[in-house]
Structure 1
Amino acid sequence: MNPTDTSSAEWDIAAVRDHFLFPAEGRVVTNNAASTQPPRELLELYRSLAPGYENVHRGQSDASRELTRLFEDAYDTIAQFLGAPSRRSVALYRNTTEAINAVLYSLLTEFRDGDNVVTTMLEHNSNYVPWSALCRDILPRFGRRVDCRLARFDPETGELDLEHLASLIDARTKLVCCTGASNFLGTRPPLETVRDLADASGYVQPNGEERSYLLVDGAQLVPGTFTDVQALGADYLAFSFHKLLAPFGVGVLYAREHLLESSLPFLYGGDMIAEGRVFPGGVEYGPLPWKYAAGTPNILGAIVSAQALRLLHDLALTPTQAHYFGTGRPIERETTRRAMDRISAWNRHLTARALERLEAIPGLTIYGPGDAARRTSLVAFTVAGHDSGDLAHALNDAGVEARAGCHCATLAHHALGLTPAGSCRLSFYLYNTPEEVDVAVDALAAIVAGRRRVRGGRDVPVVGPAGR
């Protein structure tokens, strides 16, 4: 396999799948937009770290010093993957939601009466509800009136309405919050344009900059797209490792270093304090990034998550050989670009196949862009006369793990007039096969036709809502 070739034809899917446990269980995993599957190497890494289990930054034992080294190296790997200048721009939290809340609380005292926050109807609840709460629940208690404004999207194409977004951003817009990719519509807004609109607002920040800050929810973007935070120009970007091969429990906040340096921490207490600098009259915070690491962190989770990034490169470029996993070897930006472009190509190949085949099912409506190149690797849909939850349950009976509900993209479901606010979703990742796409679509077609497909591909008559 040529690592520089991004063609889906060169993707060694058998070698990739050999790193995972779920294929041996016969699972057809198509709920990857919620969480991806962990490779066996990462599960084994957890076990291998157990003999040296210790705390970090506060011990003199060999075990503590070694785990501290691995923990701090994890920050370096994450910064490299994002194209960040250094670990000083990286803070770790439990998930994307907590990382976004960290931005809210860090900026809380900076909002002035009459300011506004602009976000979009495409957002996951985690990039709307905190800002709604800030404007409607929190700041009013301090006597400050701050608006939360929502930009529309085109209901036909799922694309962000850039003209409407531009009309909402003005000289009192402190922050623009935008998803990198919708977890319902699959839409990828043009973040460079959003950045330009935020830059041109003229809002005067406390440090004298005349522009609005930009926060990108990268939860659906980062796992399948080459992301360079400096080229993107984002002030903040958040994502979760549980959508990027690693087990649950670690989220990332990237922020421009000067913003982390000047902002207040989200959490206070042990390990975010400069050594010995606690006095009755004041406290001095530690250097970046530890200023944002109060208390005992998720040490093993951070180490394993960073190694997930290294393994991701190996899976994409040389799935039968480990070049980066288990090492501290620097990863060049061009190597990361090649790896992520290959993953993007494979995901796009799967998504295009799903879109083409789903369109043939009577009564089925697909939401979002019709071109796989304009969306991430998920397809959400409804079927006339069928409850989306019933469809997902019936797919599960057929051995296909889909997802139904509003996917925490409640605003977009309401905007499309979906009542109840829900859809069924298939989502793919680097270990899925075209055959699994076919299995999922064939099962859905059988269900819609009034047959319930059971595991193994056999159809049986159905009685109940799924067969109406």
Structure 2
Amino acid sequence: MRDPVDVQAVRRHFAFPTLGRIATNNAASTQPPRELVALYQSLAPGYENVHRGQSSASQEMTALFEESYDTIARFVGASGRDGIALYRNTTEAINAVMYSLLTEFREGDNVVTTTMEHNSNYVPWYAMCREILPRLGRRVDYRLARFDPHTGELDLDHLASLIDARTKLVCCTGASNFLGTRTPLRAVRALADASGYLQPTGERRSYLLVDAAQLVPGSFVDVRALDVDYLAFSFHKMLAPFGVGVLYGKPHLLAAALPFLYGGDMIAEGRVFPDRVDYNRLPWKYAAGTPNILGAVVSAQALRLLLDLALSPDRPAYFGTAEPIERSTVRAGMNRVSTWNRQLTGRALDGLGAIDGITIYGPRDPARRTSLVAFNLAGRDPVGVAEALNRAGIESRAGCHCATLAHHALGLTPPASCRLSFYLYNTPDEVDQAVAAVAAVAAGRPAGLDGPRERVAAR
């Protein structure tokens, strides 16, 4: 059967393979294609601020900047740029929701989240309930839904038992960055819908916020089909450089809510008075101060390049253009990425599962998870395992992966695991090399004396 992705053609767009690197820490950050690095340089001669000048350079840069919002909106299926706010990362985007909704919470309300969450989708709600609102004399509770320790699946019955008529917000991961588990978002949406909570908009249901940092990079996502109220993700996990995260919000919610940050450009032009301040129209109401202009432009182009790499890596059609991307194109491209990632993950699960003394966390069916595999080796410290893998040229990650609650829920001491994670530029051979290195570490054999970097250098 033909591979869904021409991986060798894809790899020609990246510099890291020439160094012999086996980049399998993609759940933390992906590698940047050469085109995006060059794009930064090409934008420098015409660089100017946006929304703040009458020069041709400023107006041209403003057009590129605003087009980036349109591309992002089309990629996730939003109705338009008025549902998009840009922040530094997923964490800041989730904090933006917390601070925007802060004053809406009423005495006795609650927030429901899960023990599967990245700290970014738990700690802000902990802080709001335990540290911020108590200082304002208001009691709001948070509730944690458990997951099945054997399968890594969210316990939907337990989640349902926690949601009631005082649940203003349900927060969940779209896919766990430790267990890899894909959350059944439609089922969670149905539970949130049934709460009966009376929102300021007159709706009677709980809002749903999805941390999609691990979901969007490798899946076709349609925010309107999922009917999520808020969704957050980061570009540094999908080929772009660091520094830009996305918050999608339903436009009527963003229009009604208070901003997270206040100051320049989020104000309607000339509408600041001693007794009144009028906010800018969407999406600029949520863009206080000078934004990460080049980051936004390059990140939006990263989405276009990702589709090109998935669909026609030797004949780019969307990168470097403002050509509208159709939903059918996004679906086709991201389905290819998803299929390739699933093949790599299934290969890794099969290989790792044959190693004596290994514990693999999360679903064993690659179709039920994203392209990461976290594990521990009996009697071995996970950090030491990752260091041994690095000597073999395998780039992994060890620690709690900021999924501290889940590690504690499994009783792991220390609360840590080792993780391999894959993306569309990884090859089956790299997966095999990673599995062989883990097997060598588990057996107590040297894993890195003649690793891939040394072999490449010798050629």
- Shorter-chain TM-score bucket reads over 0.9
Check conservation: 2:5, 2:424, Cα contact below 8 A.
Answer: no
Equivalent residue in structure 2 for 1:66, among 60, 65, 70: 60
Equivalent residue in structure 2 for 1:203, among 197, 204, 211: 197
1:352 to 2:346 alignment: yes
1:334 to 2:319 alignment: no
Deviations 1:149-185 (A, max 9, x none): 0000000000000000000000000000000000000
Deviations 1:237-267 (A, max 9, x none): 0000000100000000000000000000000
1:160 aligned partner: 154
Equivalent residue in structure 2 for 1:126, among 120, 125, 134: 120
1:303 to 2:289 alignment: no
Structure 1 residue runs of 4+, over 4 Å off?
Answer: none
1:266 aligned partner: 260
For the residue of structure 1 that corresponds to 2:45, the secondary structure is helix
Equivalent residue in structure 2 for 1:415, among 405, 409, 414: 409
1:307-318 matched pairs, under 5 angstroms: 307-318=301-312
Equivalent residue in structure 2 for 1:34, among 28, 33, 36: 28
Equivalent residue in structure 2 for 1:23, among 17, 31, 41: 17
1:359-438 matched pairs, under 5 angstroms: 359-438=353-432
Q: Which amino acid aligns with 2:354?
A: A
Taking the aligned partners of 1:218 and 1:329, their CA distance within structure 2 comes to: 25
For the residue of structure 1 that corresponds to 2:408, the secondary structure is helix
Q: Which amino acid aligns with 2:323?
A: R
2:446 aligned partner: 452
Taking the aligned partners of 1:9 and 1:61, their CA distance within structure 2 comes to: 49
Taking the aligned partners of 2:143 and 2:390, their CA distance within structure 1 comes to: 39
Taking the aligned partners of 1:259 and 1:456, their CA distance within structure 2 comes to: 56
Check conservation: 2:363, 2:369, Cα contact below 8 A.
Answer: yes
Equivalent residue in structure 1 for 2:75, among 81, 92, 106: 81
Taking the aligned partners of 1:260 and 1:30, their CA distance within structure 2 comes to: 37
1:225-244 matched pairs, under 5 angstroms: 225-244=219-238
Q: Which amino acid aligns with 2:25?
A: N
1:282 to 2:276 alignment: yes
Check conservation: 1:131, 1:148, Cα contact below 8 A.
Answer: yes
Taking the aligned partners of 2:3 and 2:212, their CA distance within structure 1 comes to: 28
Taking the aligned partners of 1:381 and 1:162, their CA distance within structure 2 comes to: 24
1:52 aligned partner: 46
Taking the aligned partners of 1:160 and 1:172, their CA distance within structure 2 comes to: 22
Equivalent residue in structure 1 for 2:5, among 6, 11, 22: 11
1:216 to 2:218 alignment: no
Check conservation: 1:119, 1:150, Cα contact below 8 A.
Answer: yes
Taking the aligned partners of 1:199 and 1:390, their CA distance within structure 2 comes to: 46
1:440 to 2:449 alignment: no
Mark the CA change 1:8 to 1:114 in structure 2 (over 3 Å): closer, same or farther.
farther
Check conservation: 1:8, 1:345, Cα contact below 8 A.
Answer: no
Unmatched 5+ stretches in structure 1: 1-6, 459-468
| Deviation at residue 449 of structure 1 after TM alignment | 1.2
1:192 to 2:208 alignment: no
| Deviation at residue 446 of structure 1 after TM alignment | 1.0
1:136 to 2:136 alignment: no
Taking the aligned partners of 2:388 and 2:375, their CA distance within structure 1 comes to: 15
Taking the aligned partners of 1:8 and 1:306, their CA distance within structure 2 comes to: 30
| Deviation at residue 455 of structure 1 after TM alignment | 5.5
2:168 aligned partner: 174
Check conservation: 2:391, 2:451, Cα contact below 8 A.
Answer: no
1:319 to 2:319 alignment: no
Taking the aligned partners of 1:11 and 1:80, their CA distance within structure 2 comes to: 23
| Deviation at residue 322 of structure 1 after TM alignment | 1.1
Percent of pairs identical after alignment? 75
TM-score after normalising by structure 1: 0.96
Check conservation: 2:4, 2:336, Cα contact below 8 A.
Answer: no
Taking the aligned partners of 1:321 and 1:47, their CA distance within structure 2 comes to: 22
Q: Which amino acid aligns with 1:251?
A: G
1:96 aligned partner: 90
Mark the CA change 1:277 to 1:455 in structure 2 (over 3 Å): closer, same or farther.
farther
For the residue of structure 1 that corresponds to 2:31, the secondary structure is coil
Q: Which amino acid aligns with 1:34?
A: A
Deviations 1:44-91 (A, max 9, x none): 000000001110001111110000000000000000001000000000
Taking the aligned partners of 1:344 and 1:86, their CA distance within structure 2 comes to: 25
| Deviation at residue 8 of structure 1 after TM alignment | 6.0
| Deviation at residue 456 of structure 1 after TM alignment | 3.5
| Deviation at residue 419 of structure 1 after TM alignment | 0.4
2:101 aligned partner: 107
| Deviation at residue 422 of structure 1 after TM alignment | 0.1
Taking the aligned partners of 1:373 and 1:296, their CA distance within structure 2 comes to: 42
Check conservation: 1:8, 1:349, Cα contact below 8 A.
Answer: no
Check conservation: 2:196, 2:205, Cα contact below 8 A.
Answer: yes
| Deviation at residue 271 of structure 1 after TM alignment | 0.6
| Deviation at residue 457 of structure 1 after TM alignment | 4.1
Q: Which amino acid aligns with 2:362?
A: G
For the residue of structure 2 that corresponds to 1:9, the secondary structure is coil
Taking the aligned partners of 1:10 and 1:129, their CA distance within structure 2 comes to: 38
Taking the aligned partners of 2:92 and 2:177, their CA distance within structure 1 comes to: 18
Mark the CA change 1:353 to 1:66 in structure 2 (over 3 Å): closer, same or farther.
same
Q: Alignment RMSD, CA only?
A: 0.9
Check conservation: 1:187, 1:369, Cα contact below 8 A.
Answer: yes
For the residue of structure 1 that corresponds to 2:447, the secondary structure is strand
| Deviation at residue 189 of structure 1 after TM alignment | 1.1
